[in-house]
Structure 1
Amino acid sequence: MFVWSAQEPDYQPVPGDVDETVALKSRSGSIWHKSFRICGTGRSKWRRLLLRCLIFILGFNLLLLVLVPIFKPSYSKRPAHFSGKNIHGEKVFIAANIEDEGLIRGAWRKSVFDLIDLLGPENVFLSIYENDGGPGVKAALEELSTLVKCRSHIISDHIDRSKLPTVQFLPNDKRVKRITYLAAARNYAIDPLVDFPLLNSTIGPFSTPLTKFDKLLFLNDVVFSPKDAADLLFSTNIGPDGRTRYDAACAMDYVNPFKFYDRFALRDNEYYESGLPWYPWFTPGGSRAESWHDVMQQKDAVRVKSCWGGMAAFEARWFAESVRSVESASMDSLSPLRFRSEEEVFWDASECCLIHADLQDLVRRATGSAGNIFVNPYVRVAYNEATFKWLEFSRRFERLGFLSHVILGWLLGQPKASARAAEVPGHQVAHAEWIYSDPPNLKPGEMFGVEDMSKFGTWKKVEKTATPGGYCGGPMLLALRNPAPKKGEKYWEKINPVIPYVDFE
């Protein structure tokens, strides 16, 4: 039933124009604010994702930094056959060229004396040849000679440069090659190896003469472990009978706890230059990458074609006696090895690489088989005591540099090889040689600079018989300074030809 009320109905007012505008603005601002928040949230997500990636990468690297040296250290656990002893009583000729007075009086001398004790003084001959090291070095060596227990020949001398071969690329400027000079010093150090009166001495504690040596050990001015030196000599690439199977074996030398030094002499088993100077030292390039694979397997005998590494061991017979060639019907006599340099003006190579090239050639001609040359990465030396003390620790971390070595090596186009790496000793080859020609009307004493060399010579095609070691060298000249260096300057300099080298096919 309908009931009429006297009250007026409760109507809602209709919004006016002003209120509606305010409401629309409010809603518009709300939409804009939401849009802004949505865009801001997107950027935050990317920032958070990037931050998480960085944290993950950092955490992963920290994890590797902890786990690798514990569970996957490099060349840290010596093989079981490494004894650090001269088990078979082998005879060792130690040769050294050293000019560091501090090392002669300190770490080097102590290590040499400990090595002599370890090998047995009656089994060792020590030959040191030093030239132009100064009065302090001479006095230090004289003191050493009074203390050494084995037979020895220790000389401080002067090499007469006027008697060494020279090369010329400028008028009135004949130069002695640095490598010629170094080769002469090394040869003087091994001179007593053959026909030296003291070898036959039986005076004092020596009851038997040293008529034949089994090993030849070269030492640079390095800090080293006597046990490591013994393992290089007697434990590298041993056979079932416990005897070594090498013609040469080298240590690895370091200038800081992670940086290997002597890349100038090192060539892998395919004649390529080594890679960057940290682990794994060699690149996976080439057709076989044998040196690289040997390192990956942590072998004590990494196959190479040449090396030095501050300390190098050889089978002494290749330096001590003439051998017969199996390649000729007349069985020609082959002379013992000696260090040498390249004869060309603008082609130089390390004497330590060339000696291995000559060694391989001699072994092939004497036996009909290839020479066995190895690097032993377990054996490491350094050029100062501080670096040497870190080497046992730093090697545990060196695998961490593997990825950077591979990537940077690839970017740099490694491995690289010498332009003459494919030359076969004894075969006819044609390549470029710098030929110097004297200018007419030259005034006495008139001097010229390196920039003038193009006026006095050029590259010419020369046909000749290839010598061993084409893979060792490159188009450069390492020459003793002329005139003599000023105080504080190096005694030698590197000179590159002004006209670029282009070899002939």
Structure 2
Amino acid sequence: MSARLLHPDEYELGTRSSLDSQGTFNLDEADFESQTPPRSNLLTRRVPILSRLFSSTYSGYRRLTPSKPLLSVSSRRSCYYRLLLRRPLFFYLHIVGGIIIALVVFTSIFRPSYTRPPPHYSLLRRSASQSTEHGRGNPRNEQVYIAASLYDPGGDLARGEWGSRVLQLIELLGENNVFLSIYENDSGSEGANALRDLEKQVTCNNSMTFEDHLDLGSLNTVTIPGGLKRIKRIEYLAEVRNRALRPLDANPQVRYDKLLFLNDIVFDPIDALQLLFSTNADENGIAQYRAACAVDFINPFKFYDTYATRDLEGYSMGLPFFPWFSRAGKADSWKDVQKGKDAVRVRSCWGGMVAFDAKFFQQRNEPPATESGLGEARPIHFRASHDLFWEASECCLIHADIQDIQPAPHEITDTGIYMNPYVRVAYDSRTLSWLGTTRRFEKLYSLIHNLGNNIVGLPWFNPRRTEVAGQSVQERVWIPDPNEDGGGSFQTVDRIAGNDGYCGRRGLQVIVEHREDGQKGWENIPVPSS
């Protein structure tokens, strides 16, 4: 696979897990080391050592001649300090470099991060690795529905490493235990042919659906300032995900234990087993969760899915490297990561690969059992936010819909939704090959991460984060009015809070329905100031 499988400006599910822009912090812009310090300013004049460190004029040492009189202890100490200050800059850089190397070596050997999983992880890996029996990775023969929504114009996914690993996963789970559903659209003839080639190799029950073009007329529209009707980008992404779930609706009599959603990732099939069957296991070794997410990486250090992930109190992410979460509020998610837990408590996540308790996506006959009504018959589907200038990832909203009504954010103790940092995936093979190494010394990042969050001001403020579903709230929303110059205005209104305020942020992205060559598949609509 190439470094980026799909171009990030496609509104199709190219990088399906989240939006490449607007939802991810640009670490490159925060590279303060790349900024050249000023040659002289008030601070360096008042603190001489800074002037010396930022200067390259000190190229050697001044010799102490024998003719100098003997010095007192305090004088010798003063001369020693002056001698250190006169050393060239590279001398100090070597010292700092040596300390860093020593810390990296010590940490990677004695304090590695997420390299020693609980015993049941090792047991499952041995079972999957030391046998050739089909179904060896599914000890309880659980029924698993695997879903994927692809945009694969060159056929590189279906014909390449992604397709090969999906076939391996099916064998590990057991063909009789799996249903594979892939929905693909707008990928051209090469994409269609590759999907058909993959279908011939699939040994389990499956649904391989290819559409030349998705009918955009079936999607909900919004009216933007100026009167045009447009389709939200998230509306589109939610729809193509739902189309991969259609066989569930068509065959409600078939019951599944787990639902595994795959992005266009490179993954270890055994890691997929661990996500499904090992995450948050009880004393009997049975996984317990509503949803369990992998952690996805765009390079060996940078976490990708910031747009869909929220910590236990609904705060957005910190800088996109370990430990990922900020220390805002009670920082329970941050603490879980520091303790090396395999079930980091969150309110939402995705991570390129996510396992769900399948009951939320299937018809249920039992009466409502909780305040959220999750016992009712209606299956959960992906969706978009209906407010005009308010955006939230469909991958966050789905988690809002499968959890019980939560109390005030600072009172939440567990949602049943977990991020599992033992399970890591990437968007190219080279990055995946490095993840076993970089995790060994990632604990060293914590101090820098916390300092960087404070400098940048992360997590950014979300006015709806603290809302509790069902309560009366005041929200500032866009009210369309064709008689106004701007086509409407922001107004504060009284209404009942939904369950998903923590997912969103101010903004609007819409798809470009009739693109020209080189044009992005989506665009930002500026948020009016009034």
Alpha-carbon offset, residue 136 of structure 1: 1.2
Give the deviation of 1:401 after TM superposition. 1.8
Say if 2:87 is the partner of 1:44.
no
Report the alpha carbon displacement of residue 153 of structure 1 after superposing the two structures with TM.
0.2
CA distance in 2, matches of 1:385, 1:51: 37
Query: CA contact under 8 A between 1:361 and 1:468: conserved in structure 2?
Result: no
Conserved? CA contact 1:346–1:496, under 8 Å: no
What's 2:447 paired with?
403
Relative to structure 1, is the Cα distance of residues 171 and 412 closer, same or farther in structure 2, using a 3 angstrom cutoff? closer
Post-superposition offset of 1:55: 4.2
- Classify the secondary structure of the residue corresponding to 2:421: strand
How far 1:133 moved relative to its partner? 1.6
**Who is 1:470 aligned against?**
501
Partner Cα separation in structure 1 for residue 346 and residue 505 of structure 2:
19
Cα distance in 2 between the residues matched to 1:261 and 1:472:
16
- Structure 1 distance, partners of 2:322, 2:406, is 30
1: distance between equivalents of 2:303 and 2:81?
Answer: 49
Aligned in 2, Cα 1:75/1:331: closer, same or farther, shift over 3 Å? closer
Aligned-pair CA distance for 1:126: 0.2
CA offsets 1:98-118 (integer angstroms, 9 cap, x no match):
123212111101110000000
Task: Go from structure 1 to structure 2 and tell me whether the alpha carbon gap of 1:333 and 1:51 turns closer, same or farther (over 3 Å shift).
Answer: closer
| Equivalence for 2:342 | 300
* Unmatched tracts of structure 1, length 5 or more: 1-32, 201-210, 441-453, 501-505
Greater shift, 127-136 or 110-119, is seen at: 127-136
Residues 313-462 of structure 1: pairs in structure 2 closer than 5 A: 313-322=355-364, 323-326=366-369, 333-361=376-404, 371-439=415-483, 455-462=486-493
The partner residue of 1:260 within 282, 285, 303 is: 303
- In 2, Cα distance between the equivalents of 1:238 and 1:333? 27
Tell me the distance in 1 between the aligned counterparts of 2:392 and 2:460.
15
- Alpha-carbon offset, residue 420 of structure 1: 0.3
Contact 1:250 1:307 in 2 (8 A): yes
In the alignment, which residue of structure 2 is the partner of 1:5? none
Per-residue deviation at 1:437?
2.3
The whole-number CA distance in structure 2 between the counterparts of 1:265 and 1:53 is 42
Q: Would the aligned equivalents of 1:166 and 1:177 in 2 still touch at CA under 8 Å?
A: yes
Deviation at 1:51, TM superposition (A): 7.2
Deviations 1:428-458 (A, max 9, x none): 2221221222259xxxxxxxxxxxxx62221
SS at match of 2:183: strand
Q: Which moved more, 1:274-283 or 1:162-171?
A: 162-171
Q: Residues of 2 paired with 1:40 and 1:299: CA distance?
A: 52
- Give the AA of the match of 1:381: V
Distance (Å, rounded) in 2 between the aligned partners of 1:133 and 1:309: 24
309-318 or 53-62: bigger deviation: 53-62
Matched, 1:91 2:140: no
CA pair 45-117 structure 1, distance change in 2 beyond 3 A: closer
What are the equivalent positions in structure 2 for 1:148-227 lying under 5 Å apart? 148-157=202-211, 158-196=213-251, 211-227=254-270
Mind listing any 5+ residue stretches in structure 2 that lack a counterpart? 1-66, 70-74, 126-136, 408-412
2:498 match: secondary structure: coil
Q: Is the 8 A contact 1:334 1:362 kept in 2?
A: no
1:43 Cα deviation from its structure 2 partner: 4.5
- Change beyond 3 A, Cα 1:391–1:335: same
Task: For residue 399 of structure 2, give the secondary structure of its aligned residue in structure 1.
Answer: helix
Match of 2:98 among 59, 76, 81: 59
- State how 1:109-124 maps to structure 2 within 5 Å: 109-124=163-178
- 1:172 CA drift (Å): 4.7
1:399 to partner: Cα distance: 1.9
Counterpart residue type for residue 139 of structure 1: N
Query: Retained in 2: the 8 A contact 1:251–1:375?
Result: yes
| CA–CA separation in structure 2 for the residues paired with 1:217 and 1:382 | 17
SS in 2 for 1:194: helix
Where 2:237 maps in the other structure, the secondary structure is: helix
Aligned residues of 2:227 and 2:482 also touching (Cα < 8 A): no
Distance 1:222 1:41, change over 3 A: closer
Pair 1:156–1:50, CA change in 2 (3 A): closer
Q: In the TM superposition, what is the alpha-carbon distance from 1:489 to its structure 2 partner? A: 2.8
Residues 464-498 of structure 1 deviation map (CA, whole Å, 9 limit, x = unaligned):
2222110000110011125x222233211222313
- Cα distance change, pair 41–112 in 1 and its aligned pair in 2 (3 A): closer
Aligned length: 435
* CA deviation map 1:367-387 (0-9, x unaligned): xx9640000001111111221
What letter is aligned with 2:201?
Answer: L
Contact kept? 2:142, 2:177, Cα under 8 Å: yes
For the pair shown, the structure with the greater C-alpha radius of gyration is 1
In 2, the alpha carbon distance for the partners of 1:66 and 1:498 equals 52
Matched, 1:493 2:513: no
Quick one: distance in 1 between partners of 2:208 and 2:346? 32
What TM-score results when the alignment is normalised by the length of structure 2?
Answer: 0.77
Instruction: Give me the whole-angstrom Cα distance separating, in 2, the residues matched to 1:462 and 1:339.
Output: 27
Instruction: State whether structure 2 residue 193 is matched by structure 1 residue 139.
Output: yes
- Distance in 1 (alpha carbons) for counterparts of 2:84 and 2:336: 47
Give the whole-Å Cα distance in 1 for the aligned partners of 2:318 and 2:93.
30
Corresponding residue of 2:16? none
SS at match of 1:313: strand
Task: Tell me how far 1:66 sits from its aligned partner.
Answer: 1.9
Percent of residue pairs bearing the same amino acid type: 44
CA distance in 2, matches of 1:122, 1:470: 40
RMSD: 2.7
How far does residue 240 in structure 1 lie from its aligned partner after superposition? 1.1
Mapped contact 2:279–2:288 kept (Cα < 8 A): yes
Q: Which amino acid aligns with 2:498?
A: T
CA distance in 1: counterparts of 2:356 and 2:334, whole angstroms: 23
Distance 1:331 1:361 in 2: 8
Contact 1:310 1:381 in 2 (8 A): yes
Output the CA distance in 2 between the equivalents of 1:342 and 1:51.
54
Q: Hey, what does 1:29 align to over in structure 2?
A: none
Q: Distance in 1 between matches of 2:377 and 2:506?
A: 30
1:52 shift after superposition: 6.5
Per the alignment, residue 13 of structure 2 pairs with none
Structure 1 residue 45 displacement after superposition: 4.5
Q: Quote the residue 2:59 is aligned against.
A: none
| Matched-pair contact (CA < 8 Å) for 2:405–2:468 | no
Q: Map Cα deviations across residues 70-101 of structure 1 (whole Å, 9 max, x no partner).
A: 22221122321111421111000000011232
- Aligned counterpart, 1:290: 332
Taking structure 1 as the reference length, the TM-score comes to 0.80
Are the counterparts in 2 of residues 271 and 417 from structure 1 also a CA contact under 8 Å? Answer: no
Counterpart residue identity of residue 71, structure 1 = F
* Change in 2 beyond 3 A, CA 1:49/1:337: same
1:481 and 2:512 correspond: yes
Deviations 1:296-335 (A, max 9, x none): 111111000000010000000111123522358x998352
Work out the CA distance in 2 between the residues paired with 1:362 and 1:242: 28
Give the secondary structure class of the aligned counterpart of 1:355.
helix
> CA 1:119 to 1:40, structure 2 compared with 1: closer, same or farther past 3 Å?
closer
Aligned to 1:7: none
CA distance in 1, matches of 2:339, 2:450: 17
Contact residue 360 and residue 370 of structure 1 kept, 8 A: no
Q: Secondary structure at the match of 1:77?
A: coil
Task: Indicate the residue corresponding to 1:104 in structure 2.
Answer: 158
